[in-house]
A and B are shown apart, each in its own frame.
Chain A
Amino acid sequence: MVFKARYIALIVYLLFLLIPIYWLLNMSFQHNSEILRSFSLWPENFTLNNYARIFTERGWAAGYVNSLIYVFMNTTISLLVALPAAYAFSRFRFTGDKHLFFWLLTNRMAPPAVFLLPFFNLYQSVGLFDTHIAVALAHCLFSVPLAVWILEGFMSGVPKEIDETAYIDGYSFPRFFITIFIPLIRGGIGVAVFFCLMFSWVELLLARTLTSVDARPISVVMTRSISATGVDWGLLAAAGVLTLIPGALVIYFVRNHLARGFALGRV
């Protein structure tokens, strides 16, 4: 009996979670007229028209491409910087290491809006404004500390003796790092990649302010789909569904390590 009650509670909970997503999906397959006219639990006149428009109209596709470009730039830069940094924090003791480590995390405590003006001003003056790298670098301010924290946790879980054994066996540092160490923290790298990707993918404020035309991200394109004729609900819903997909994909690959990632690798 208790068993059943628990199942019912879980199912109800899941339903509530999934309703908005289902509704988004539902809307994306409907015409605007149907969305506005009646309350329908499933599309009465099923259409792929909204998706077709996104894939054919230039602005939309470019939005996705722009977003993907700076997201991957940001993730790559974050990993390249965070891997050595996390290794240093996990293996070496140096003056002020603990303070520096904590300071890294405090970067995440500041709201992105604080950095808007300086970034805008700086990028204007050095000619980085409205480029992909501009957004990627700005996002690094938040994703690098997170990646360092996550990776440090995973790296500290690897005994130092493995490093030493490798040196005794004659491994050079780069070779040891790539062939032995990286495979040991694969899970951690996956989680760090996930957090960098997600942060950069959904971040709107910096991405919108630092771009205008050439590097305009998808989230900005979406907000601009509201025109004088009103909101194009069906189109907006289809775009929303498409933005969910990358996140869902990445989550699928790191699902087993995610809990440890949320604890910043410290489990």
Chain B
Amino acid sequence: MADPAPAMRRVHNDFQKKNGSTMSLELKNISKVVGGENHIHDLSLRLEPGSFNVLLGRTLAGKTTLLRLMAGLERPTGGQLLDRDRDITGVSVRKRNVAMVYQQFINYPAMTVYQNIASPLKLAGVPRKEVDRRVRATAEMMRMSHLLDRRPGELSGGQQQRTAMARALVREADLLLLDEPLVNLDYKLREGLREELRDILRDRDCIVVYATTEPQEALVLGGSVAVLHEGGLIQHGPTHAVYRNPRNIEVARIFNDPPMNLAEGRVIDGEVRIGEHRGIPVPSHLSELAPGKYIFGLRPHHLSPANDSGDRLPIDGHCELTEITGSLSFTHVNDGETSWVAQIPGVFSADVGERLKVYADPSQLFAFSSTGGLACAPRNGDTARGAG
């Protein structure tokens, strides 16, 4: 198949440089069925020009499938993809100006790093001098100028992924898709690259879609977040807004690591009662709740072993497990009904089976209706830094 695109793409690139990327991507009722299984189900999503979007969901939530549909690597079973008002559902991936970075480190092993990064530009018919300039600039940005003559097989995992990212960044695509790009890297590399990536992606002129399973990554990267669950979109909005006001229990579960503590309780006689614990006066942000049954949610870092202010809700139980990461301790306290996780700064030692009292901050309680929808969220800005 001959590729008529290079000339067109060049024109497109020039146009793009002058005016900034004007692509906006809209998914309309997209669905994807593979072998009778629903991978994506009736999903609608609009990505604004130049926006940074995190696709958050557990493994098998359909993140990769969705990215592949956006890229044009797969055709949706139903629904439409629109670039502004132009239908691009059936447009071949070669003719869309997209770039993609995979979870695995995908490079062309037979080419050097330089040739790898240069290959999309060469195919687009960019003049040799310009190719050289852009390859070197991108390599500089990814801090791998000294590796240009190596082959991918001679690089470490982190450097291989940098090569793949450089190849995706060099071409100034309209749509940049990253499918859990950091998940195969070790912890330290991941942290470092994540921050670099945030700065690099922030001032790019294209739609970026970044898929991840980690809530923390979404919070660090910012932008807006689309939460995926079992092939459907359950919430889409600015990352911090979604974090503060999860639409339902499922979003709260996906967007918290360690998971949000959830326990059944009631609002009755001006008191909040969680499980069998002593009731406390209804905190001000929950004052509009009608009496009845609710599911209360509390983030682990709002449980502490000390009753600082005196108005906290005591949770009495025995210690099940303590995971100590060094700077943080995750203590699991079972009160007979629910296993609560408390995130405690520093090293907190408690023996398994030991009786323990942790105190919940009532002003930070989420209330979900018994069907799972959000009834009330804490009023103050629950700052994002404590997600993990």
A168 CB contact (under 8 Å) in B3, B9, B71, B111: B71
Chain A residues, Cβ within 8 Å of B171: 169
Chain A residues, Cβ within 8 Å of B108: 162, 165-166, 180
Task: Mark out the residues of chain B between 112 and 136 whose CB falls within 8 Å of any chain A CB in the assembled complex.
Answer: 119-120, 123-124
A118 part of interface (Cβ distance < 8 Å): no
Question: Contacts A161-B104, A183-B110; is A169 near B120 (CB within 8 Å)?
Answer: yes
Nearest residue, chain B, Cβ from A166: B108
Contact B106 A162 (CB under 8 A): yes
Give the complex CA separation of A171 and B3 in angstroms. 8
A68 part of interface (Cβ distance < 8 Å): no
Contact A165 B94 (CB under 8 A): no
Chain B residues, Cβ within 8 Å of A161: 102, 104, 106
Contact A169 B1 (CB under 8 A): no
Chain A residues, Cβ within 8 Å of B92: 167
Contact A168 B100 (CB under 8 A): yes
Q: From residue B310, how far is it (CB to closest CB) to chain A in Å?
A: 57
Chain B residues, Cβ within 8 Å of A175: 3
Q: From residue A193, how far is it (CB to closest CB) to chain B in Å?
A: 19
Contact A164 B73 (CB under 8 A): yes
A170 CB contact (under 8 Å) in B5, B111, B164: B5
Question: Contacts A180-B108, A184-B109; is A170 near B2 (CB within 8 Å)?
Answer: no
Q: From residue B163, how far is it (CB to closest CB) to chain A in Å?
A: 11
Task: Mark out the residues of chain A between 167 and 190 whose CB falls within 8 Å of any chain B CB in the assembled complex.
Answer: 167-175, 180, 183-184
Task: Mark out the residues of chain A between 224 and 259 whose CB falls within 8 Å of any chain B CB in the assembled complex.
Answer: none
Q: From residue A104, how far is it (CB to closest CB) to chain B in Å?
A: 25
Question: Contacts A161-B102, A164-B73, A167-B94; is A172 near B109 (CB within 8 Å)?
Answer: no
Chain B residues, Cβ within 8 Å of A159: 104, 106
Contact B106 A167 (CB under 8 A): no
Could you give, for residues 1-13 of chain B, a 1 whenever the CB lies within 8 Å of some chain A CB and a 0 otherwise?
A: 1110110010000
Chain A residues, Cβ within 8 Å of B123: 169-171
A-B CB contacts (within 8 Å), total count: 59
Chain A residues, Cβ within 8 Å of B99: 168
The winner among A167, A168, A171, A174 for most chain B CB atoms within 10 A is: A168
Nearest residue, chain B, Cβ from A173: B1
Chain A residues, Cβ within 8 Å of B167: 165, 169
B98 part of interface (Cβ distance < 8 Å): yes
Contact B93 A168 (CB under 8 A): yes
Nearest residue, chain B, Cβ from A167: B93
Give the complex CA separation of A167 and B123 in angstroms. 11
Chain A residues, Cβ within 8 Å of B109: 183-184
Task: Mark out the residues of chain B between 27 and 79 whose CB falls within 8 Å of any chain A CB in the assembled complex.
Answer: 71, 73
Q: From residue A257, how far is it (CB to closest CB) to chain B in Å?
A: 16
Could you give, for residues 88-104 of chain B, a 1 whenever the CB lies within 8 Å of some chain A CB and a 0 otherwise?
A: 00001110001110101
Q: From residue A113, how far is it (CB to closest CB) to chain B in Å?
A: 43
Give the complex CA separation of A162 and B100 in angstroms. 11
Give the complex CA separation of A180 and B119 in angstroms. 11
Q: From residue B204, how far is it (CB to closest CB) to chain A in Å?
A: 17
Give the complex CA separation of A166 and B122 in angstroms. 12
Contact B106 A165 (CB under 8 A): yes
Question: Contacts A164-B73, A164-B100, A165-B100; is A170 near B106 (CB within 8 Å)?
Answer: no
Chain B residues, Cβ within 8 Å of A167: 73, 92-94
Q: From residue B292, how far is it (CB to closest CB) to chain A in Å?
A: 51
Nearest residue, chain B, Cβ from A169: B120
Contact B110 A184 (CB under 8 A): yes
Give the complex CA separation of A172 and B265 in angstroms. 61
Contact B98 A168 (CB under 8 A): yes
Give the complex CA separation of A169 and B94 in angstroms. 7
Nearest residue, chain B, Cβ from A183: B110
Chain A residues, Cβ within 8 Å of B111: 180
Contact A172 B3 (CB under 8 A): yes
Nearest residue, chain B, Cβ from A162: B106
Give the complex CA separation of A169 and B100 in angstroms. 9
Could you give, for residues 134-177 of chain A, a 1 whenever the CB lies within 8 Å of some chain B CB and a 0 otherwise?
A: 00000000000000000000000001011011111111111100
Chain B residues, Cβ within 8 Å of A162: 106, 108
Chain B residues, Cβ within 8 Å of A172: 1-3, 94
Give the complex CA separation of A167 and B3 in angstroms. 11
Chain A residues, Cβ within 8 Å of B104: 159, 161
Give the complex CA separation of A249 and B135 in angstroms. 42
Contact B110 A180 (CB under 8 A): yes
Chain B residues, Cβ within 8 Å of A184: 109-110
Q: From residue A86, how far is it (CB to closest CB) to chain B in Å?
A: 19
Give the complex CA separation of A161 and B73 in angstroms. 10
11 more CB-based (< 8 A) A-B contacts, given A161-B106, A170-B94: A159-B104, A161-B102, A165-B164, A165-B167, A168-B93, A170-B3, A170-B6, A172-B3, A174-B1, A183-B110, A184-B109
- What are 10 sample pairs from A and B whose C-beta atoms fall under 8 A apart? A168-B73, A168-B93, A168-B99, A169-B171, A172-B3, A173-B1, A175-B3, A180-B110, A180-B111, A183-B109
Nearest 5 Cβ contacts at the A-B interface: A183-B110, A170-B123, A169-B120, A172-B3, A161-B106
